[in-house]
Amino acid sequence: MSTETSKADMIIIGGGPGGLSAAQYGARAGLSVHVFEEIAPGGQTLIVDELENYPGYDEPITGFDLAMKFANQAEKFGAVIHYGGVDAVTHKQDGSFDVQTSEGLFNVPVVIMATGAKRRELEVPGELEYQGKGVSYCATCDGPFFKNKKILVVGGGDSACGESLFLSKLTGQVVIIHRRDRFRAQKGIVGLMEHDDHIEIRLSHIVNRIEGDGKHVTSVNLHDIANDRDYDEAFDAVFIFVGALPRTQLVPFVETDESGYIKTNSHMQSSVPGLYAIGDVRDTPFRQVVTAASDGAVAAHSAAEYIDALHGRAYL
């Protein structure tokens, strides 16, 4: 690792669709762009089995394939993707940022936070004990282990409903419970679920505890809110999709909303000049691959203007 400070125009933290779109637009605008991604390009997209709503693809594409296209395109235009982490971001008095990375220290005028959000846990007894033994947060990763088994899905958003549809291709016994009497998910996804014979919907239900034999999940104790009743039911797996926690730890100095998402204006500019936020980590009404990609394009364009203004140039 270099002990010298490297200069660049833009550091993008996170290599999901937002980060890689920003990288492509930034590099095409002639900026020196470095992306830091800890795992693999694609972020949450990687665990999507079939993406059927990304514009331009009239046949479903896997999240992995789409992520590879994003990465290849960004690199083609000159962005550098590092498979490593960022340890610290410091906002300096001169307005620039020191970014401590696995590749050494960078000093840049622009940082784009594309760090996404981490899956939230349900926090019920048995959840931690049976993680990897029937409790899962990723249907694409773990669903195939439960072919023809009985699966409980917990949650009412697009993830829970969309993943139920994926799981219903593997087994005829999917039960989805949601704590309220109506789903939060998009109507289209809910409609598909309602017409799927392999999915049983139980609204106004919550999990009391997950139980097992020490090696596997065997049952779940549920609470039926409408009838104020607790009951046990046998399940082989519990897939939990109850939202996410934004990853903002690197920039505690930036303004966030009450849920912790980074506040931005329409240019993806945060409360700190030169610091942009895109995709799942920012406060946005709709979290999709296409909206993250759009955020990335807007942020890179705005950042290019910002850098030109710093240099006293007009952005063309």
Q: Which residues make up the interface to ligand NAP (CB under 6 A)?
A: 122, 155-160, 162, 178-180, 184, 206, 241-244, 286-288
Least spacing, CB of residue 89 vs ligand NAP, in Å: 25
**142, 158, 280, 295: which one is catalytic?**
142
Nearer to ligand NAP, 110 or 160 (CB): 160
Least spacing, CB of residue 274 vs ligand NAP, in Å: 27
- Token reading at 228: 């104020």
Is 142 a known active-site residue?
A: yes
Nearer to ligand NAP, 109 or 157 (CB): 157
The Cα 293–Cα 296 span in angstroms is 5
Nearer to ligand NAP, 106 or 261 (CB): 261
Nearer to ligand NAP, 282 or 287 (CB): 287
Least spacing, CB of residue 280 vs ligand NAP, in Å: 7
**49, 98, 138, 283: which one is catalytic?**
138
Least spacing, CB of residue 179 vs ligand NAP, in Å: 4
**65, 87, 141, 230: which one is catalytic?**
141
Residue with the CB atom nearest ligand NAP in the bound state: 157
Least spacing, CB of residue 158 vs ligand NAP, in Å: 4
Nearer to ligand NAP, 74 or 160 (CB): 160
Active-site positions read 138, 141-142
